[in-house]
Amino acid sequence: MVPLQGHRACLTSLCAFLAAALLLPLLAAADYVQTNITETPNFKLLPGIASVPAPVAVAPDQTWIGIDGAWNTFTLAIGEPQEYVQVYVSTASQQIWAINRMACISNITDPTTGEITAFNVFDSECELSRGYLFNSSNSETWEQKGFYQLWIEKYLGLVGNGLYGFDSVGLGRAGEMGPSVQNTTIGTLVTANFWLGHIGVHSKSTNFSVFDDPVPSYITTLFEQKSIPSLSFGYTAGAQYRDQTVLGSLTLGGYDASRLIPNDLTFIFAPDNERDLVVGIVGITANTTSEEDIDLMKTDDVTMYIDSTIAELYLPVEICQAFEDAFGLQYDEATDLYLVDDKLHQSLLAQNPSVTFTLGQKFSTDATLQITLPYAALDLEATPPYRGLKEKTRYFPIRRGGESRQWILGRTFLQEAYLTVDWERQNFTVSAVDWTFGKAPEILPIVSPTYAVAHSTPPRKKPLSSTAVIGIAVGGGFFVALLLCAIGWWFWHRRHKRKLEAIKAKYEAEAAAAAVTKMDPPVLEETPTSPVRSSTEGVVVFPKAELPGTSHVHHEMSSSAQEKGSLPVHEADGKEREIYEMPGDMPVLAEAGGRQLSEKESMVVRERIYNGVDPAGMPDAPPVTHDESRRLAPISPSEVAIVGGQLPTGNVSPVTPRLPRDEPGARAKRSEEGGYSSALPPWAKLNPSYALRLDTNPTIAITEAATRHRTTAFLHRHFVNRFPIASYFPKLKELALVTPRSYPAASAIMGDLANRKVFKVFNQEFIVDERYNVTKELGQGAYGIVCAATNNQTGEGVAIKKVTNVFSKKILAKRALREIKLLQHFRGKSRSHPSALPRLTSGRPPQRKIHLITCLYDMDIPRPDNFNECYLYEELMECDLAAIIRSGQPLTDAHFQSFIYQILCGLKYIHSANVLHRDLKPGNLLVNADCELKICDFGLARGFSMDPEENAGYMTEYVATRWYRAPEIMLSFQSYTKAIDVWSVGCILAELLGGKPFFKGRDYVDQLNQILHYLGTPNEETLSRIGSPRAQDYVRNLPYMQKISFQSLFRNANPDALDLLDRMLAFDPSSRISVEEALEHRYLQIWHDASDEPSCPTTFDFQFEVVEEIPEMKKMILDEVSRFRQMVRVQPGAGAGANQAPQVPIPNNYDRAGYEDPRPQEAFNQGGWNGSDLERDLQGLDGRMR
810-826 vs 1110-1130: helix axis angle to the nearest 10?
20
Question: How far is 608 from 498, CA to CA, in rounded Å?
Answer: 103
Residue 13: name the closest of 24, 26, 2 by CA: 2
Residue 2 CA to its chain's centroid (Å): 36
User: What is the rounded CA–CA span in Å between residue 1147 and residue 1150?
Assistant: 6
Task: Report whether the peptide linkage leading into residue 634 is cis, meaning its omega lies within 30 degrees of zero.
Answer: no
Cis peptide leading into 664, omega within 30 of 0?
Answer: no
CB neighbour class for 158 (10 Å; exposed up to 12, middle 13-18, buried from 19): middle
Q: Quote the CA–CA distance of 899 and 881 in Å, as a whole number.
A: 9
> If you ran DSSP here, which 8-state letter would residue 280 be given?
E
Phi, psi torsion values for 802, nearest 5 degrees: -100, 115
CA-closest candidate to residue 370, choices 413, 309, 326: 413
Q: How many residues does the chain have?
A: 1186
Distance between CA 844 and CA 978 in Å, rounded?
35
d(C-alpha 805, C-alpha 680), whole Å: 48
Contacts of 1137 (CB under 8 A, 6+ apart): 791, 794, 796, 1143
Q: Where are the alpha helices (DSSP H) in 534-661?
A: 599-611
3-state class (DSSP) for residue 373: strand
d(CA 1159, CA 703): 40
Which residue type is seen at 897?
Q
How many whole angstroms from its chain centre is CA 227?
Answer: 30
Rounded-to-integer distance, Cα 981 and Cα 998, Å: 16
A 10 A CB-CB count for 106 gives 16
Residue 284 forms beta bridges with which residues?
357
Greatest CA separation for the chain: 174
Q: How far apart are CA 849 and CA 851, in angstroms?
A: 7
Residue 1110: Cβ within 10 Å count: 16
Report the first-to-last Cα separation within the chain, whole angstroms. Answer: 59
What's the rounded Cα separation, in Å, for the pair 156 and 177?
35
Determine the Cα–Cα distance for residues 1027 and 968; give it in Å rounded to an integer: 9
- Cα separation, 1160 vs 211, whole angstroms: 10
Backbone angles phi, psi at 547, to 5 degrees: -75, 150
302 bridge partner residues? 281
838 within 8 A of 682, measured Cβ to Cβ: yes
Q: Are 988 and 881 in contact (CB under 8 A)?
A: yes
Burial of 726: CB neighbours in 10 Å, binned 0-12, 13-18, 19+: middle
> CA dist 71 to 157, 173, 232, 382, 408, Å?
22, 18, 23, 12, 18
Strands (E), 448-513: 452-454
Answer yes or no: is 802 a known binding residue. Answer: yes
- Mark the binding-site residues for ATP, compressed into ranges: 802
- Mark the binding-site residues, compressed into ranges: 802
